Structure 1
Amino acid sequence: MALSLLRKNMIARHVKRQLYHKRNAGYVVLIPEIGEDSDKNILLSESGLPEFNDITIEKCIAAISKESLEYENGIKQIEANSPNCKNAFTDVFQPMEHLDSQLEFNWGMAKTLYLGNSSLMPTKSYLKIHERAYKAKSSKFNSLAIFQAAVNEKDKLKKISDEEQRLLDKHILEGKLNGLSVQGMKKDRLNNILIELQKERHIYSEKVKVATNKFSYTFDNSEVVRDFPDSLLKAMALPSADIHTGPWKTTLQPHIYEPFMQYCSSRQLRWNAWQAYIGRCSGYNEKELETSTHLEQIRKLRQNQAQILGYDSYVDMSMETKMARTAENVNRVIHTLLQSARPMQERELEDLKNFAKDRGFDDELDYCDIPYWQRKQKWSLYGFDENKVKEYFPLPKVINSLFNLCTTLFKIQIVEHSGVHTWHKDVKFYDIFDDSSNKPIAGFYLDPYAREDEKIRIYEDAGWHVTILNRSTIASSNPLSALIFNFDPPVESKPALLSFSDVRVLFQKFGHSLRHLLTKANYSEVAGLSNVEWDAAEVCGQVMTHWLYEPATVQALSGHYATDEPLPDAIIHNLQNLRSHMSGYNLCKELYLSKLDLELHSGRKFWRDVVRDLWPKYHVLPFNKYDSHPLTFTKIISEEWGAAYYSRIWSQMIAADIYSAFEEARQGKQDILEVGKRYRDTFLALGGSCHPSEVFRRFRGRDPSPNALLNNLGLSGKPMED
């Protein structure tokens, strides 16, 4: 599927997933074709910003219904005029800019309200809104007339800008991957494959969900939980139990399983949970929950889909929307990183084994033991306590320092704008000013605090960046977005205090948002985060987090909430040590999963044979014959990351290389402010209007290298021999 549609599918999958993580409060409202007050946008205030304090489900539905219908009618009008099209930019793309602007604006408001106050916008209601808007937006990428207009414009071979070229390429690729260039029996076969794929992915996902929910174990031994943080005790305590006296229940839900494996002192309980986790959907216990047949069928269908569209494999099709461009380039990076990470993993596990043995652990170190002893070793070596560190990161000081850093690097001013309508009293709105303008160039909402009865909270999603409006010179719109977090709110006389992990999330999401807010592209379809290749989409957020390992930055943003005393130098120094602790082991796990994904989507070998071939190349400890992890690897099988899981490593590599330019400047080779300007003029300004490989070359003057990532992880020693 094409890039923008893949992103919309990710959103669809993501909001549907909320049904299983939060109560489904509220009611379902069916969407009418035409809403009330159809002559105006009823979600806007007089300032032109959303009327968040007066938005209702009914108003959202009415606005989305109106805009969706107008969007579809507008696309039909463009299609009707396409035979007379002389210039695709003036006759097709510019009219679509006006259509896109209004629909995205209303859709973005609904998404923001859903994530910021789900009591006002329940999941089921938002799903209806999302599905209606998505159906409308999809119409242009399934339009043969618009696809042909883009092809014809490109065939003219006239000189156009990089941005215009990217716009044409996007619509051509979208059309190709949606099957617009396929006709006759092939078209029918493709449609049948896509229908079958959707069914198989749904069955796979549901079985994984049921299998995950099947396992639980209740215990009341207080010795087992003596080191558990209160947040974990609260999550595990039975409904009527005191969190400190139990009983407690462990499950395979990520927000319980992962910290449980880190803190549980009972090896037997850890082993039981781990065995249940790796054996899900294998059919060893419950045949009706096995997913092997569905996994193989999904692989086969994806391969057939790719071949109908003219690709040798699903991986080759996926690479059309990736910065890496080819599987060979990805495999080359994986191999280079593995050369350093694999031997380091051997040393790390030997050290961990000795550490555990010195503390009375007499068993052979197994995978169920590593998280527990890894945490213990980290504490022993670095004395790092998140609860103590939190006292040095009051949110107001962190926010102020983050804004000051961006002001210095990118020559912008971030100014709070009072009197703006919001969905909660804690939400603030900020304008962004350029040094060269006295008018705002962008704006964003900041909603920092958790609200248990109002905001959605998912374990792996600590924060959200919601695009409300893209920049468009044609539609005269400036970027607008929302940053929504679940940080602990202020308590009595204490301000909101952040863990270092919270600070990292804040920096990452804000860095991500800057690509949207500071774009200078003219067309919304390629502005900011739009049209950025998957494996480069998270780069700017990752770049921002690197500043947290620069001592001067940490000193500036830290200060004890009561005394303003800075974070001790020893802890600041240990932040880098914490990042590189067992980095070889952790990196090898990610490299293995990335390679597994590529192998499953490029060949026909049975999945278990693929695992057995790859495992010893990436892991020191032997493979457990009951380990069936591909049967629950939902990210690549039932979600949208098939043949794209490597994107996590790739974006980290690119971000580390980008940040190394700032490090070089700090060492005196050039002015750090010049590097900041170059970064803003490339990665932040160009967004999706230029291929990220070219953007990188303009910033760095060369192609990417994995060396900076290896240096950051402490893995830059001599690699192993082939």
Structure 2
Amino acid sequence: MPHADNPLLQAHDLPPFARIQARHFSPALDRILAESRAQVAHIIKTQAAFPTWDDLVLAMDEIHTRLEGFDALLDLLASARSGDAWAQASLDCTERLHDFQRWLRQHPELFQLYQRLADSQIAQHFEPARTRVLEKILRQFRQNSLAHTSRPDLDALKRRIKGAEQLFLENLHKANNAWSKTFDNESELSGLPSAFKQQMARQAREAGHTGWRLALSDESFGIVTGYADNRLLRQALYVAYSTRASDQGPHAGQFDNGKVLQQLLDDRHQYATALGYANFAQMALEPEQAESAEQVTTFLRGQLALHQSAFAKETEQLKAFARLQGFSELQPWDYPYLTEKLRQQAAGTSRHALSAWFPLASTFTQLLLIATELFGVDFIERQEVATWHPEVRLFEVREWDQLIGYLYFDPFDDANRNGYPNTTTLRNRSITAEGRPRYPIAILHGWLPRGSGAQPAVLDHLQLRILFHEFGHCLHHLLTRAEYREISGITDLSRDTSEFAGMLLEQWCFSKPCLVRVSKHYQTGAAMPEKVADQLLTFANTQASWETAVLLRNALFDMELHRTHGDGRSVQQVFDQVNAHTGHLPVFVNERWPNGLDYMVTGYAAKIYAYAWSKEWALSVLERFKRDGLFNPATGRALRETVFGPGDSRPLSESIAAFIGTPPVNAPAAKPEDRGVAPSSLN
């Protein structure tokens, strides 16, 4: 294929989605890799005598930007489009691309050039943002080049780790697909929402059956255990879900992640100790705001202690309610069901009735308007620009009528894809050596259920929180003023930093003025009355301790597992002990929750704590908004300038301190690399 005909090799501000086909990727990658190798050789040759910022750092940034953009685009389209051609394109390109990126991260001559620049006299006068960029680059080199120069076998070990993580997800996906139940009698589905039953009927037809088909997924687990009056159905789904990919349950021994997880932990520990770390947790926490695994563990245990009284109160409240409902003995699959009933009783309304006030289309419009009011930016929809799916919406983000970034909104789930709500990026903000801006691109994948017939897509309170949370990530990415790729994008932040903006914006969902503002009944168009908003908040805050307990348990388990690996305990033993320490949560003897905990293999290993940690910081910031007004433009702009604007040019704790006037809760002291000093374990 002539290069001039390949859209992936042509300059563009936004990907030309209408023109891109699977066959374009492999020849484009051939050209990109060849050109990148030549550019690297030229940089090494010309910078050998005297490395400079523009001709080393920014020149290499051009290469990394091109490679990362290609990778992000391939990942997006290969997951969004079905067919053998797209699977083959991913197979042909992904490993080659990642091998080349690994080669760059392990290149000893590049490492030496960056180190010489950092040690030079001119670097002593760099602005803090440039110093931070060099610190991050050198830290990445140390974690990778040591494996390349002193232990070649560690490169193979790292590949094995990636393979095990992928196998874990594949096993989980197969376990989900292996289980289903078909129903001919609708009475067995009593209590389930009508929209969910319609979805089950559609899935049955697609599978060639009549009646209703129940599949195994996060969504079905939450809905069935929360709503199904049929106790045996709740039990069947609970057992299947809690034993997925394990040696227990209806598919015991098939797709078993037990050995996969154990080998993964062994390999992670071996890799970390070979690089001079005490354990994988210490290595994982090096770029984080948290100082150590011990500090994280102390924080999480402190959070548990703070919530014990609420745990005890809500447990007794639920058991008393259960007795009134005729339950003599509670099983784990009864707790979500009774919790939902108790919430309805306390609020005087149902989750379904409350969701009618939040149709997705108008709610998202109001969310954009809130961002406009708080941060002074406008979102201009570009319907004439092609995207990768007709339902995906594109917005230009403008400030003072000047373009500053792009937002794609990909709202709905897809039965042909295995996904979850998340935010991805196609490009970080940066300024080239010639002074040209590259505008950031964020994608909000809502993974929300579609409407049907006269019923549009509507959001319950949890889905509303998810929408706000993911939009917070998008704002964090789009509103930065940082000029360098390594410190401007959310994918380059530490986990306990990147979760902050999502956790912060999510808190608006617990504010009555915000709920009223974003609401619009899908049938009448009326805004939510304050009385109904009070009911919603009562519903959301009743029996909320179960969500807190699961988060703290999983975070403690994750940290304990990676911090104490090799002490003789199995994965399940660690989980059982942490679960017992957490208390509050019901236990079924054959549960194998670790085998389905995908956070362990999706970039959150030893970092699940980030959700609880960043929430505490978000609550500190929220106090100023409560004082000044949740929609106060001056406060919103102050947040943008002091927290979002600097990006990762300084620790988040410093940015928050600048915003609220005091260090946030649990703010650690400056780490060695934050002071420009390499950690001793890497010297």
Give the TM-score category using the shorter length.
0.7 to 0.9
Identify the match of residue 639 of structure 2 among 649, 663, 679: 679
Identify the match of residue 257 of structure 1 among 194, 197, 221: 221
Q: In the alignment, is residue 470 of structure 1 matched against residue 429 of structure 2?
A: yes
Q: Specify the alignment match of 2:681 in structure 1.
A: none
SS of aligned partner of 1:688: coil
Q: Specify the alignment match of 2:532 in structure 1.
A: 571
1:530–1:420 distance in 2 versus 1, CA, 3 Å: same
Identify the match of residue 520 of structure 2 among 559, 577, 590: 559
1:507–1:298 distance in 2 versus 1, CA, 3 Å: closer
Q: Specify the alignment match of 1:337 in structure 2.
A: 303
Q: In the alignment, is residue 440 of structure 1 matched against residue 403 of structure 2?
A: yes
Asked if 1 retains the 8 angstrom alpha-carbon contact of 2:201 and 2:213, the reply is: yes
RMSD between aligned residues: 3.5
1:611–1:52 distance in 2 versus 1, CA, 3 Å: closer
What is the Cα deviation at residue 268 of structure 1? 3.3
SS of aligned partner of 1:368: helix
What is the Cα deviation at residue 513 of structure 1? 1.1
What is the Cα deviation at residue 335 of structure 1? 2.0
1:462–1:194 distance in 2 versus 1, CA, 3 Å: closer
Asked if 2 retains the 8 angstrom alpha-carbon contact of 1:104 and 1:469, the reply is: no
Distance in 2 between residues matched to 1:489 and 1:204, nearest whole Å = 29
Q: Which whole-Å deviations, capped at 9, do the CAs of 1:119-175 have from their partners, x for residues lacking one?
A: 798444345444444444433222222222222233336132221122111111111
Q: In the alignment, is residue 311 of structure 1 matched against residue 277 of structure 2?
A: yes
What is the Cα deviation at residue 94 of structure 1? 1.1
Distance in 2 between residues matched to 1:201 and 1:113, nearest whole Å = 21
Q: In the alignment, is residue 697 of structure 1 matched against residue 657 of structure 2?
A: yes
Identify the match of residue 96 of structure 1 among 50, 56, 60: 60
Asked if 2 retains the 8 angstrom alpha-carbon contact of 1:471 and 1:522, the reply is: yes
Identify the match of residue 33 of structure 2 among 37, 49, 68: 68
Identity of aligned residues (%): 23
Q: Specify the alignment match of 2:104 in structure 1.
A: 140
Asked if 2 retains the 8 angstrom alpha-carbon contact of 1:532 and 1:692, the reply is: no
Asked if 1 retains the 8 angstrom alpha-carbon contact of 2:7 and 2:16, the reply is: no
Distance in 2 between residues matched to 1:647 and 1:114, nearest whole Å = 29
Q: Specify the alignment match of 1:409 in structure 2.
A: 374
1:254–1:657 distance in 2 versus 1, CA, 3 Å: same
Q: Specify the alignment match of 2:494 in structure 1.
A: 533
Distance in 2 between residues matched to 1:586 and 1:196, nearest whole Å = 34
Identify the match of residue 165 of structure 1 among 101, 122, 131: 131
Distance in 1 between residues matched to 2:473 and 2:399, nearest whole Å = 18
Q: Which whole-Å deviations, capped at 9, do the CAs of 1:451-486 have from their partners, x for residues lacking one?
A: 767xx463xx13544334533343531223333445
What is the Cα deviation at residue 369 of structure 1? 1.2
Q: Specify the alignment match of 2:323 in structure 1.
A: 357
1:496–1:535 distance in 2 versus 1, CA, 3 Å: same
Identify the match of residue 3 of structure 2 among 17, 31, 37: 37
Task: State the one-letter code of the partner of 1:664.
Answer: R
Q: Specify the alignment match of 2:558 in structure 1.
A: 597
Q: Specify the alignment match of 1:618 in structure 2.
A: 582
Q: Specify the alignment match of 2:569 in structure 1.
A: 606
Task: State the one-letter code of the partner of 1:470.
Answer: R
Q: Which whole-Å deviations, capped at 9, do the CAs of 1:528-560 have from their partners, x for residues lacking one?
A: 324210122122122222222222222222223
With normalisation by structure 1, the TM-score equals 0.81
Identify the match of residue 618 of structure 2 among 641, 655, 658: 655
Q: In the alignment, is residue 369 of structure 1 matched against residue 334 of structure 2?
A: yes
Identify the match of residue 50 of structure 2 among 69, 85, 99: 85
Q: Which whole-Å deviations, capped at 9, do the CAs of 1:20-49 have from their partners, x for residues lacking one?
A: xxxxxxxxxxxxxxx53259855768x843
Asked if 2 retains the 8 angstrom alpha-carbon contact of 1:182 and 1:309, the reply is: no
Distance in 2 between residues matched to 1:305 and 1:64, nearest whole Å = 30
1:701–1:58 distance in 2 versus 1, CA, 3 Å: same
Q: Which whole-Å deviations, capped at 9, do the CAs of 1:553-602 have from their partners, x for residues lacking one?
A: 22222223453321122221233333333232321221111111111112
Q: Specify the alignment match of 1:11 in structure 2.
A: none
Matches within 5 A, 1:183-194: 183-184=149-150, 187-194=151-158
Judge which range, 487-496 or 382-391, deviates more.
Answer: 487-496
Distance in 1 between residues matched to 2:223 and 2:363, nearest whole Å = 26
SS of aligned partner of 2:196: helix
With normalisation by structure 2, the TM-score equals 0.85
Q: Specify the alignment match of 1:23 in structure 2.
A: none
Q: Structure 2: where are the runs of 5+ without partners?
A: 668-683
Distance in 2 between residues matched to 1:76 and 1:477, nearest whole Å = 25
Asked if 2 retains the 8 angstrom alpha-carbon contact of 1:352 and 1:374, the reply is: yes
Task: State the one-letter code of the partner of 1:532.
Answer: L
Task: State the one-letter code of the partner of 1:661.
Answer: R
Asked if 2 retains the 8 angstrom alpha-carbon contact of 1:225 and 1:264, the reply is: yes
Asked if 1 retains the 8 angstrom alpha-carbon contact of 2:224 and 2:237, the reply is: no
1:441–1:208 distance in 2 versus 1, CA, 3 Å: closer
